Amino acid sequence: MFSKNHDDCIASIGETKLIERIRGWLGEVSPPTPGGMGDDCAVLEPIREGLQLLTTDSVTFGQHFDASVRPEDAGAKLIKRNLSDIAAMGGEPEAALLTLICGPDLRLDWLESFVRGIRQCCADYGVFIVGGDVSQLAESHFVATLTLTGTCQNRPILRSTARIGDSIYVTGRLGGSILGKHYRFNPRIHEGKWLASRLEVSAMMDLTDGLGKDLAALLPEASSALIELSELPCSKEAETCASMDRRPTVAHAFCDGEDYELLFTVKAETDESAFLQGWHSRFPHLELTRIGSIIDARSASPYLDAATGKPLSWDHGFEHFTSR
């Protein structure tokens, strides 16, 4: 991804030409100015209906991907991380700003592939890159940041609106994303929109740092989550990880980061079999699992094992800046 041969590197063409190239690589997902790149700001029509959503997420070489990930996949991951945040509010993506902060020794062909991955993913999800910034970082470093706007036609689904008695659901299967899902996932845009349209759904977020860390954000004050460990939808990759490190498969499903699935709560009074039926007729190929409920006991752990009533020790997930 980096090269000692100056002619292969972005340093060989300088900033102005690099921006021209990037625009070319982005093709049809880069609209003309003033609604796109090329002026001091992008100029957008205000949204007509609903609320505006705004989110940002980055991918850093060495943190969010390594040299084993194809550049196209790393580029797509940048877009999909942000799409997952829009999905978690039940929104629809719109315009984005792309910031590339690169060591001067970054290979041009690597960056081209990275940007082509961005283009393909933007085309797939109807996102336009309307602006951004390019600047320099120390040699052999690379950070890309995206800011994504969206709209929300329904009410936005917040994290803070779950209540005691609500059931807890998760889409898909969890754990072991390090084996590939961390960049191969599909952001749950359609699913998030559908869930936001269902009044039974009380709160929602996407799973980025692992259930063990993220679920706490959905719990109201003085409540705990009663978890049906036997119901936890463990991925095959969680099993593989478990066979490698001899931790339980459920521990991987509970604590591994980067699932990019939707975690949400459903109101206590809901007819859950009708709700599940509605889901399965709309999304026949994506599992939806009830993994527990919110109760009003607050114990030492935010999570209790429904089978034993005892606290679960896995009350954490991925944290930047700590090696825990």
The neighbouring-strand residues paired with 167 are: 266, 293
Give the nearer residue to a copy of itself in terms of CB position, either 120 or 153. Answer: 153
Q: 108-125 and 71-88 are packed helices; what angle lies between their axes, rounded to 10 degrees?
A: 30
C-alpha torsion 102→108→114→117, nearest 10: 150
Give the nearer residue to a copy of itself in terms of CB position, either 59 or 253. Answer: 59
Residues 6+ apart with CB under 8 A from 60: 142, 143, 144
Give the nearer residue to a copy of itself in terms of CB position, either 242 or 262. Answer: 262
Give the nearer residue to a copy of itself in terms of CB position, either 212 or 229. Answer: 212
DSSP state of 37: S
Provide, rounded to whole angstroms, the least separation between the CB of residue 57 and a copy of itself.
6
Pairing of strands 303-305, 224-227: parallel
For the record, the structure tokens of 216 come out as: 């706490």
Provide, rounded to whole angstroms, the least separation between the CB of residue 270 and a copy of itself.
22
Give the nearer residue to a copy of itself in terms of CB position, either 277 or 313. Answer: 313
Provide, rounded to whole angstroms, the least separation between the CB of residue 170 and a copy of itself.
15
Provide, rounded to whole angstroms, the least separation between the CB of residue 9 and a copy of itself.
8
Give the nearer residue to a copy of itself in terms of CB position, either 138 or 300. Answer: 138
Residues 6+ apart with CB under 8 A from 183: 65, 69, 73, 74, 76, 77, 80
The number of beta carbons lying within 10 Å of the beta carbon of residue 171 is 25
Provide, rounded to whole angstroms, the least separation between the CB of residue 133 and a copy of itself.
5
Cα 323 to Cα 316: distance, rounded to the nearest angstrom: 12
Provide, rounded to whole angstroms, the least separation between the CB of residue 161 and a copy of itself.
10
The number of beta carbons lying within 10 Å of the beta carbon of residue 90 is 27
Cα four-point dihedral sign 254, 147, 115, 189: positive
